[in-house]
């Protein structure tokens, strides 16, 4: 593991975390804010563990890597968190136009500071969550990457957030990539905007299913395929399961989490 980490985190000193910073982040307690130099810019974070996991997914495994002939592709980043995905997209396509949603005010401020630190243009940051209607909802603020709409919950740090409908941003635009990582709200959001998914060329959805709740994966996949998108890959984020019937994965309050990739 140590050899893999050292090789992975030193491939490009401009675009990758330096190994000394990586070791320090590994030792940093969870839910403690901090910052470090990334690509010679200051990058702030909320939680070291979620930072390293997301960083590995985006910059090492490059799960959001895509090709396009469009010079200024329009990307919607639903669940932008602290902005690692925004940074990745803008480094890959500097002229990309990005609409990024993050409802948690504390996380949003870190996102805003990180985007400003990199000096990116054409990034529209929206401090709202996505939902099936425009309203105000209770939100569980985790202080990391797992904040979510908290219907009928009364535990943890609860805040109020404003919500927007994704259809408002899809209906008059051609979206090169739609990335949705919104911790359980994805079914309702895709259901609300399903008639406009024909305007999306590539789609990433992180699907979440909660214990004691109905799984809506089949219906959600129907929204995607009925819009003319083809499912090209489904995987469990960060894991490979050899014996699903006997090897239980701890998803916390969830019983399933999937990365779903589709394209036209």
Helix/strand/coil percentages in the chain, nearest 5: 30, 30, 40
pLDDT at 153: 67
| pTM (predicted TM-score) | 0.91
Residue listed under structure tokens 């982040």? 25
Share of the chain above pLDDT 90, in %: 71
pLDDT single digits (tens) 151-198: 766 677 899 999 999 999 999 999 999 999 998 999 999 999 999 999
* Cβ pair 223, 194 in contact under 8 A: yes
- Count Cα neighbours of 258 within 13 Å in the Cβ-side half-sphere: 20
Higher pLDDT, 122 or 241: 122
**Residue 29 to residue 49: CA distance in whole angstroms:** 8
Each residue's pLDDT tens digit, 42-75? 999 999 999 999 999 999 889 999 999 999 999 9
Q: How far apart are CA 233 and CA 230, in angstroms?
A: 9
């Amino acid at each position: 593991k140590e050899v893999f980490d050292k090789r992975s985190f030193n491939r490009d000193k401009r675009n990758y975390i330096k190994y000394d910073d990586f070791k320090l982040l590994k030792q940093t307690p969870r839910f403690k804010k901090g910052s470090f130099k990334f690509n010679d810019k200051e990058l702030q974070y909320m939680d070291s563990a979620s930072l390293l996991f997301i960083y590995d997914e985006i910059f090492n495994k490059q799960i959001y890597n895509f090709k396009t002939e469009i010079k200024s592709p329009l990307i919607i980043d639903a669940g932008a968190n602290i902005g690692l995905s925004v940074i990745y997209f803008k480094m890959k396509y500097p002229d990309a136009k990005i609409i990024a949603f993050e409802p948690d005010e504390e996380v949003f401020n870190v996102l805003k500071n990180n985007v400003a630190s990199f000096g990116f243009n054409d990034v529209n940051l929206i401090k709202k969550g996505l939902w099936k209607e425009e309203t105000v909802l209770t939100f569980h603020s985790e202080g990391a990457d797992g904040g979510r709409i908290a219907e009928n919950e009364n535990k943890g740090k609860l805040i109020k957030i404003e919500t927007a409908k994704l259809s408002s941003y899809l209906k008059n635009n051609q979206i090169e990539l739609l990335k949705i990582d919104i911790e359980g709200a994805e079914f309702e959001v895709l259901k609300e905007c399903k008639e406009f998914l024909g305007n999306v060329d590539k789609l990433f959805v992180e699907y979440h299913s909660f214990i004691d709740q109905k799984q809506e994966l089949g219906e959600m996949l129907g929204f995607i395929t009925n819009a003319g998108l083809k499912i090209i890959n489904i995987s469990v984020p960060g894991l490979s399961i050899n014996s699903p019937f006997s090897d239980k994965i701890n998803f916390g309050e969830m019983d399933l989490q999937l990365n779903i990739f589709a394209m036209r």
